[in-house]
Chains A and B, each alone.
Chain A
Amino acid sequence: MGSEILIDPITRLEGHGRIHIFLDDDGEVDRAYLQIPELRGFETFARGRRAEDMPQITSRICGVCPMAHHMAGTKTLDDLYHVDPPPAATKVREMVYDAFMVEDHALHFFFLGGPDFVVGPSAPKAERNVLGVIGKVGLEVGKEVIGVRKELRGLISDAAGKVIHPVFGLPGGISQPVSPELRDRFAAGAARAVEFGKFALQVFRDVVLSNREYVDLVTSEAYTHRTYYLGLVDERNRVNYYDGRLRVVDPDGAELVTFPAREYLDHVAEHVEPWSYLKFCYLRDVGWKGFTDGVDSGVFAVAPLARLNASEGMSTPVAQEAYEELCSTLGGKPVHYTLATHWARLVELVNAAERMAELAADPDITSPEVRRIPTETPTEGIGVVEAPRGTLIHHYATDERGLITQANLIVATQNNAARIALSVDKAAKALVHGAEVDEALLNRVEMAFRAYDPCFGCATHALPGQMPLIVEVRDPSGTLVRELRRD
C-alpha cells in the first residue's frame, strides 16, 4: 500500500480533528479522511436529569457557543412543556442571542479563521494568530476587537447571568426581565457593533478582495462544492438565528423543502462510518450516496454561507447591502466557494448587530412579564436555533415528572461534517503531490475546513482536546522518508 500523511490535530478551532491522507504509489493523494477521534455521550448521561437543567447542562457541550446550546435547550423546554413565553421574553432571548452571534463571529474572524486571510495563508505560523492580526491591522483595531467583544459579553452576562454558560433560560420565558438601564446599554452596544461590523467588512474588502491571489484562492476549484444548503429563515425567507422554519435549497438554488424543526427527523438523518466518532448528516429527501456532491447526493452544508444561500436575503439594510455585494461579486447564489464563508460571516455579524439594535428599541423589551409557568405535563420537545456554526437541534422526551428519558442532539458541525470531509479530500488531492509536504501546504489543507469554523467538540459532543500534529511520509514499503511535525 502507499504512504500516509497524518495531520493531527488541526489547530485554531474548537475541538479535535485529524486528517489522514493516503498516497498511491505515484505519490498522488489516493484519499484523505477526516477523523473525529472523540465522543462524549451527553445524550446518554442527560437521561434521568431534570429537564429544566438541560439548557445549563448542554451549554457545557461547548464553551465557545454555550449560548447556542442554552437557547436551543430553552426553546426545547417551551415545546416540551407546551408553553409560549410572553412576547418580552422572546424578544430578550433574541436580542441576547444576536449579541452572542456578533461576538462569536468576531472571535472567529479575528482569532481563529481570519488570520489565514488577514495575516496570510503562507505567513509564518507564529504570526497566524490574533497577535499577528493586531500586528497587521494595528493595535487600535486589536483593542477595538477585544473591546467590542468585552462590551457585548458583559451585556450577555448581565442579561443571562453568565456569558460562559448562561443560566437565564426557563420553559415559558427567562428568569429575569431587562431593566431600562440595561436596555440602554444594549442599544449602545448594538450601535458600536454595527459600526464594528461595517469596519470588519471594510477590512475584508481591503485585505482579501483587493488581493488577486486571495480571490483566486477563494474561487479555486480546490475549495468548491456543489451541495445542498440548510438554514433557518423567517416568514419572509430572511436569515434568522433565533427562530423560524428550516429551508433547504438545492445546488442550483431552488427550494427543496421548508419545514418546521419539529419535522427534522423526516428530513435530516445521520450516517455512521466505522472510522470516525463523528456522524455525518444528510438529507433524507435525497438520501446518502457517499462522500460526493451534486444534486443526487444528500450531502448539505450549514453555517454562514449556507444560511445566505438557503435564504432570500437579510432582514436589515446594511447587511442586505453586503449580502448583495457578496452574491454579485461571487457570481450569484448559491455561492459554492467554501472560503467565502469568512465573508458571509461578516455579513451576518452586521445583520445580528442591526437586529440587536432593533430589539433594543422595542417598547416590549423592558416589560416585567417574562415568564409563564408551565401547566401541562411535559412529554416531548424539539427546539432549533442557528448556532454561529450552523443549524442546532435539541430533542428531549421526559417522564411525567419532567425527568429526561431520551435526548437527541444534532449540532452544526455534524450537519457540515460530510461536506467538510469532501473539502478535506478535495483540498488534499489538489494541493498535496508526493512526499514533499510543507507547512504552508498543510495550512491550506486545514483552511479547507477552518473556514467552516467547525467545532468538533460540539459535533461529537466530545471532550475537545488538542493533539500534536504529525505528518509522516512513508514510501510504499512503509519506511519513513520524511517526518514533519506541526504540533
Chain B
Amino acid sequence: MPEGGLNPKAVSTDGGPRIGVYVCHCGLNIAGKVDVKAVVEFAASLPHVTVARDYKFMCSDPGQELIQQDLRDGLVNRVVVASCSPLMHEATFRRATAAGGESPSHVQMASIREHVSWVTADGDDATEKAKALVAGAVRRVALHEVLEPRQSPVRPDVMVVGGGIAGIHAALTLADAGKHVYLVERETTIGGHMAKFDKTFPTLDCAACILTPKMSAVRTHPNITLWTYSDVVSVEGYAGDFRVRVRHRPRYVREDLCTGCLACIDACVHKQGKFEDEWNEGLSKRKPIYIPFPQATPPVVVVDREACIWFKTGKCPRTCVDACERDAFDFEQTETFDEVEVGAIILATGYRTFDASRMPEYGYGLYPNVYTSLEVERLLNAAGPTNGEIVLRDGSRPRTVGIIHCVGSRDAKHNLWCSKVCCMYSLKLAHMVKERIGAEVYNFYIDMRTPGKGYEEFYDKVLREGVHMVRGRVAGVTDEAASPEEEGHLVIRAEDTLIGSVRRIPVDMVILAVGIEPQPDAQEVRRLFNVSCGSEGFFTERHPKLAPVSTFTDGIFLAGACQGPKDIPDSVAQAGAAAAEALAMIDRGHVTLESSTAFIDDAACSGCKTCVGLCPFGAIAFDEDRKKAAVNEVVCKGCGICVGACPSGAAQQHLFTDAQILSEIEGVLEYV
C-alpha cells in the first residue's frame, strides 16, 4: 500500500488473510428464518474465505471448539461469526479466537439474529440480508490489524456514592475485604429511606434495629472515610484510575469535635421548632440547629443557614455556642473540596417517591387527612413526629383507614412500571394500623403482587386479620358527602371489579401508596459519571441478566433502587454483587483497555490541530515543538470523533480504520 494508506499492522503476521465464516443456527432463532446453508455456500465464495461452516449454537463449547480447531489446523487466521449481536457475544468469540492462538482482534461478527431473522418477515429477504452482512464482515475482517490487549493498573480504593442501605452494605463489604472506601452521602446522615421506616416487611423486624448497627459500623470502620452533607462535583479518568472531586457543604459545626450531645439544640434561642422537618416529611417542626433523628450518622448537628438568626441578622446571643463544651461551632465554615483517586465507583443514589399531588383526584394537599405512605411510616416510627402514635392532624384517631395502591405506578398518565414494593408495604401498613389502633382498613388494589420469600404468607396473615381488600382502581377521593353516613368523612370512590359495581367507602384517613421514581437529578448524575439510563431515568445495567450491576462504563457499578424499583433484600443483594464486581476488578490488579482507540500516523500529521479540541476526553496532546498531535491511548475512549474529522486521514481508529469501514460498506453492497 503506497504511503501507508492503511494501518501498517493491517496484514496478518503470517501473510494473507485466511477467513473462516461460522454461521450460527441459534437453534431455530436464526435457522427458522434464514437459509443457513445458502449463507454458508455464499460465504465460501467470497474472497479470502477458506472455511465456511454452520452450527446449531456457535457460542456453545463445541461451537467455539470448531473455530479453535480450524485456527489450530492453520485453515484460518481470521474469524467471522454470523450469529447474534456483537454486543452479546463478541467478547466470547474474541476469547475463543485468542485461545485458538490467533489475535483476538481478528474477529468480526455479523448480527443475523437481532438484525435479520428476528426482524424480517420474509425468509428469502432475510437470507439475502444475512448474506450482505456476512460479506461486509468478511471484507472488513481481512483488514483487521493485530491488536494485543493493553492493560492498565487498578487503584485499590473504591468510592460509593449514596449512603442508603445499598451504599452502606456495599461500603461495609468492601471495607471488610480490606479495601479503603470513600462513602459520599449528600444528606447530613446516612441511612436513606430505610432509616425512616419503623418496621420492614414481611418479617416485621424493626428497621432501626437492623440498620443502625450497620450505620455505626460505617462510622467506626477504619477502612471507611464517611463524607456526609457532600456531593461529587467531577469525575475524570477511566476504569482503574478515576479522579473524583467531592464538595463538602458547611454544617457550621466541626464534625471532629461535635459529640452529638445535642445541648446546643436545647440552648437555641428558638424555644421550639419552627421550621419544616424534612426528615419527618414536614409532619413536625425543627429548630435552625438540628439533627435529623437520634441515631443520625454521624451524630453531628447542622445549622440551617436559611433559618438561623445569626446568619439572617447577625444579631443573636448564640446561646448554642455557649452551650457547646467542645467549641465545635464554626460560623466561618465554607465549602471545602477533596480530590481522591479510586479504582472503581459504585452508584447507590437511590430513588424518590412519587409526588402524590400530581394526582389531584386523590386530594393530597387538599384534604389534610390524605397522607402518603412515607408520612405514615414516620407516624408509625417511635422516633417520629408522634412517637409512633397514629393520629390525624387534628390529633384524633382514625377509625377507618383506606390505603390506595399503585399511586403513580402502572399508570399510563404517570409511570408505566410497577414499583414492586407498594403492595407489600401497603399490607405492612394495614397490619400495623390495625394492630396499633384497631381501625377498619380498606386496601384498594389493582393486582396484589406478593412474589418473594414469605410475602404471600404475609398477605394471607393480613387477610386473616380482617383487612378489607377492594380490587379496582380508585376513581377519586372527595369530602362531598352523598349520604348522612358519609358526613364528616373522606369518601373513596372505586370500582370493585370483583362484585362489578362502583363503591363509595367513607374513611377518616387515606394513605396513598406512592411508587418509586428515579432521583430528580438522575440525568445530571448520569452525565457526571458517564453512565446511561433508560427513558424513565433509572440507570441502565450493561446487561439485564448477565451483567445486572455493571454499566457500559467500565469500573462503575450499580447498587439499589437507582437501577430500578427494589425492596430491601434485593437492594442489599445487589449491593453485595456490586461490591464483589469491584473487588474482582481490584484484585485482578489491572483492567483491559479499550481496544478501538484512535492513533495518529506521526509522519502523516500536518499539525493542523483539527482533532485536538474535538476530543471530549482531552486524550489528544499537541507537541508545539514537533508540530504534531498524538493520542494518549490510555485516556482515549475510542469514539473516533477525531478520526472522522481529520482532514488528511492521519488519524485512524483501531478496528474502525477508514479502510475497514469502507470495505464493510462495499461488502454489504457488492454482492446482494
Chains A and B directly touch (beta carbon < 8 Å): no
B positions within 8 Å CB-CB of A: none
A positions within 8 Å CB-CB of B: none
